[in-house]
Amino acid sequence: MFIYAFAANALHLPLLNPYLDKDASFSQGVNFAVAGSTALQTERLLENRILSPVTNSSLAVQYNWFLDHLKSICSTQTDCARILGQALFMVGETGGNDFNYALLQGKTIQETQSLVPDVVQNIIDLARKLINLGAKRLVIPGNFPIGCFPIYLTAFKTNDTSAYDDKNCLKDLNAFALYQNQYLQRAIQQLRIEHPGVVILYADYYTAFQSVFRRASQLGFDEASTQKACCGSGGDYNFSLQKMCGMPGVSACSNPDQHISWDGIHPTQATYQQMAESLITGLSIFHCY
């Protein structure tokens, strides 16, 4: 949702209040996203011995919130379809946390890859439900090149130089992210075939991030800090799972706009800004600003 905020500003769209803030205004839209949430339900993850440690408000829970909200803005199927047909839906980015939890809890890349069909199916099923209710414009983002992120560079650090690409990102993890994204894109294409009157855009977060990462110095980022968290606790990547940003004694850098990574897990606002700008052209097909 951070990228949405910057894209919204550029497109003169409103920023959206969180659904659980019952005192907020939802006159121009609503945000159902939950930090740390997953595409799969927590029970499904547990079947694979994967814990969702942050929240159990999965994509299914968020969709139920949406249905509850719908009751407050329209009373008939026709009326709801009319309202939803004028709206823009951001379906994610979701699914990344499912894979984060799997990999960081000891699953191999191959084991984690086996989750991709179910994760993608959940995303597509949700998009299909929205379309059946009347949605006409949807954006479905893919995953980031996680092999470039400090959290993974720290967790999977190795002395095997062949494991890294020319920018010192972990090749196997980036290959996994590409696999997931390609699987998602094929599913989106099938959804487009099913619903030719609906605009369904794939937001390529992978390429957008790589564009920023590989042009870091040109864009004003500190070349020496591209793989170091701004807010962290030391080490090669200024990141530790045992002492993360927000914990006592962990401080932030004085120049976050010159860093790619904020806390080792999330990009900085400056990175999101650059990514959003690279995605704006694709968003313009929605004619909603």
Using one digit for the tens of pLDDT, what is the confidence trace for 111-123?
A: 999 999 999 999 9
pLDDT for the residue 90: 93
> Which H or E element spans position 117?
helix 116-133
pLDDT for the residue 13: 75
Under 8 Å between Cβ of 240 and 274? no
For helices 59-73 and 77-85, give the axis angle rounded to 10 degrees.
Answer: 110
- In terms of Cβ atoms closer than 10 Å to its own Cβ (0-12, 13-18, 19+), residue 269 is middle
Mapped onto helix, strand or coil, the DSSP state of residue 137 is strand
CA of residue 113 relative to chain centroid, distance:
17
pLDDT for the residue 286: 45
Q: How confident is the model at residue 133 (pLDDT cuts 50, 70, 90)?
A: very high
Q: What is the pTM of this model?
A: 0.93
- In terms of Cβ atoms closer than 10 Å to its own Cβ (0-12, 13-18, 19+), residue 12 is exposed
- In terms of Cβ atoms closer than 10 Å to its own Cβ (0-12, 13-18, 19+), residue 237 is buried
- SS3 per-residue string spanning 163-223: HECCCCCEHHHHHHHHHHHHHHHHHHHHHHHHCCCCEEEEECHHHHHHHHHHCCCCCCCCH
Q: What angle do CA 53, 227, 123 make, to 5 degrees?
A: 45
pLDDT for the residue 148: 98
Q: How confident is the model at residue 5 (pLDDT cuts 50, 70, 90)?
A: confident
Under 8 Å between Cβ of 267 and 209? yes
pLDDT in tens, 57-113: 999 999 999 999 999 999 999 999 999 999 999 999 999 999 999 999 999 999 999
Within 8 A by CB and 6+ apart from 186, the residues are none
pLDDT in tens, 209-264: 999 999 999 999 999 999 999 999 999 999 999 999 999 999 999 999 999 999 99
Kind of pairing between the strands at 231-232 and 251-252: antiparallel
Listed by start position, the domains of the chain span 2-221
How far apart CA 200 and CA 286 sit, in angstroms, is 9
